[in-house]
Amino acid sequence: MEQYYIKGGNPLVGEVEIGGAKNAALPILAAAIMTDETVHIDNVPDVRDTNVLLTAMENIGVIVRHEDRHRITINAANVHETVVDDDNIKKIRASYYLIGAMLGKYKHAEVTLPGGCDIGCRAIDQHIKGFRALGADVVVEHGMIKTHAEHLRGSHIYMDVSSVGATINVMMAAAMAEGKTIIENAAKEPHVVDVANFLNSMGASIRGAGTDVIRIKGVSKLHGSEYTIIPDQIEAGTFMFAAAVTRGDVTVRNVIPKHLESITSKLLEIGCEVMEEDDQVRVVCSRPLRHTKVKTLPYPGFPTDMQPQITVALGLSEGTSIVTESIFENRFKYVDELTRMGANIKVEGNTAIIDGVAKYTGAGISAPDLRAGAALVLAALSAEGESLLDNIRYIQRGYEDFHLKLQGLGAQIKLVDSENDYAKFHLLTG
């Protein structure tokens, strides 16, 4: 089993290049099957979730060609079935984007119910409500979602909660419905906008993405396109917080600073310096960190996907901080691991009350999910002594070359997959 061996204590210093946004890439790759023409997509992150999705697409007849590590060509002219039921696809949340894409194009889709990180109940009622509003029959049976429509017709849909997945999924299906669709209370995340821009580049007519109201005029056909995915807001935020917790000086390159505003603002509040330029941000942390309060919210609020990383930083900050998780009900599972490293954090319901400690100490720890896993790496990098992190497959779902990028900033982190490896590295750095 692969693990990260980490020896903490080095301030991270240097520059790191951010890749394409995983949570934009997943729906964009799925949406690429909505045309029979060839689509070229650039800046696709080479992470486990995108690769699982691409394999599932190949299994139904999509031709996927890797022009280089991050540039992929997709052609869906020979799709031979609209049933996606493979063992791997169950493990990723984004499998559900194939429903919106196939329902839009083929008016039929059957996809295994989504898995993904275990961070809460993760309902899909808003997806189903949206598809039904467009005129599709939807049933959930034998672990599959099955949808079919004789005709998809535009509709006026009010989302009961701001859902990234439901907004994107319904937007994809509506792009190829007859007539106009209005989605109210739409999610406004940058990746929602990116998917709308991609669909528009294929000939869709979608206006208002990035606001509460998205207006879509359905078209009968989409065409080929060439598109570059936006940089990953959460990967960038994770490296910004890596600078904060290790008292480092990190320039995070290839980002859209606007997408990072809520993250930047919290870093400033806790005492870091943040210098923004056109497509990079530099985070310098030379003073003791200060306490604050933070509540996760839909964009442009502080992202739930950055909640574990800020908690790790606040665990090292002077005074008492409060973190409230308002999106998912079970996203503090990593706190037990942090406690083993010396953190003083009490979780009550959806709130963590954090009494800052002067330092963490290395320990054997385990990643409970993707972002929590990345946050535990940050904790271990700041800690006194050595840590061994299990279950790093979660991290590999969404961070490309995480340990290599950290090594580039001076971190002592190594991918190991046996006790032998561990002993070797231990001798090397010990």
Q: Which of 123, 139, 140, 423 binds ligand EPZ (CB under 6 A)?
A: 123
CB of 232 to ligand EPZ, least distance (A): 9
Output 121 or 427, the one with its CB closest to ligand EPZ.
121
User: What's the rounded Cα separation, in Å, for the pair 119 and 329?
Assistant: 7
Q: Mark the segment that binds ligand EPZ (CB under 6 A) among 1-9, 117-125, 134-142, 357-365.
A: 117-125
Residue nearest to ligand EPZ (CB): 165
- Which range binds ligand EPZ by CB under 6 A, 39-47, 77-85, 115-123, 149-157? 115-123
Instruction: Find, among 371, 389, 293, the residue nearest to 118 by Cα.
Output: 371
Tell me if 140 contacts ligand EPZ by CB under 6 A.
no
> Beta-carbon neighbour count of residue 242 at 10 Å?
29
Q: Indicate the angle between helix axes 164-175 and 125-133, nearest 10 degrees.
A: 20
Query: What binding mask, one character per residue, do residues 346-385 give for ligand EPZ by CB under 6 A, x or -?
Result: ------------------------xx--------------
Task: Break the chain down into helix, strand, coil percent, rounded to 5.
Answer: 35, 25, 40
Which has the closest alpha carbon to 388: 412, 358, 354?
Answer: 412
- Tell me which of 93, 146, 259, 405 binds ligand EPZ, using CB under 6 A: 93
Q: In Å, how far are 78, 117, 287, 357, 411 from 316, measured between CA atoms?
A: 54, 26, 12, 5, 19
Residue type, 242: A
User: Which 43-82 positions form the footprint of ligand EPZ (CB under 6 A)?
Assistant: none
Q: Does 294 bind ligand EPZ (CB under 6 A)?
A: no
Is 272 known to be catalytic? no
Give the binding range for ligand EPZ (CB under 6 A) out of 114-122, 267-275, 315-323, 412-420.
Answer: 114-122
DSSP 178: B
Site size toward ligand EPZ, by CB under 6 A: 26
Q: Give the x/- contact pattern for ligand EPZ in 166-205, rule: CB under 6 A.
A: x--------------------x------------------
Q: If binding is defined by CB under 6 A, does position 296 make contact with ligand EPZ?
A: no
Closer by beta carbon to ligand EPZ, 125 or else 261:
125
Helix orientation angle between 307-314 and 370-382, rounded to the nearest 10 degrees:
20
Give the β-pairing of 412-416 and 39-42.
unpaired
163 sits near ligand EPZ (criterion: CB under 6 A): yes
Q: Which listed range, 118-126, 199-207, 253-261, 280-288, lies at the site for ligand EPZ (CB under 6 A)?
A: 118-126
Q: What angle do CA 244, 23, 121 make, to 5 degrees?
A: 90
Contact pattern from residue 213 through residue 252 relative to ligand EPZ, giving x for each residue in contact according to CB under 6 A and a dash for the rest: ----------------------------------------
Report how far residue 427's alpha carbon sits from residue 326's, in angstroms, rounded to the nearest whole number. Answer: 44
Q: At what angle do helices 233-245 and 370-382 cross, to 10 degrees?
A: 20
- With CB under 6 A as the contact rule, the residue among 23, 82, 185, 317 that binds ligand EPZ is 23
> Any contact of residue 33 with ligand EPZ (CB under 6 A)?
no
Decide if residue 94 touches ligand EPZ (CB under 6 A). Answer: yes
* Candidate segments 61-69, 161-169, 249-257, 387-395, binder of ligand EPZ by CB under 6 A: 161-169
Does 26 engage in binding with ligand EPZ (CB under 6 A)?
yes
Distance of alpha carbon 21 from alpha carbon 399, whole angstroms: 10
Secondary structure class of 283 (helix, strand, coil): strand
Q: Which of 54, 77, 51 is nearest to 64 (CA)?
A: 54
Q: Which of 173, 169, 215 shows the shortest CA–CA distance to 192?
A: 169
Which residues of this protein are in contact with ligand EPZ, per CB under 6 A?
23, 26, 93-94, 117, 120-127, 161, 163-166, 187, 304-305, 327-328, 370-371, 398
Question: Which residues are known to be catalytic?
Answer: 117
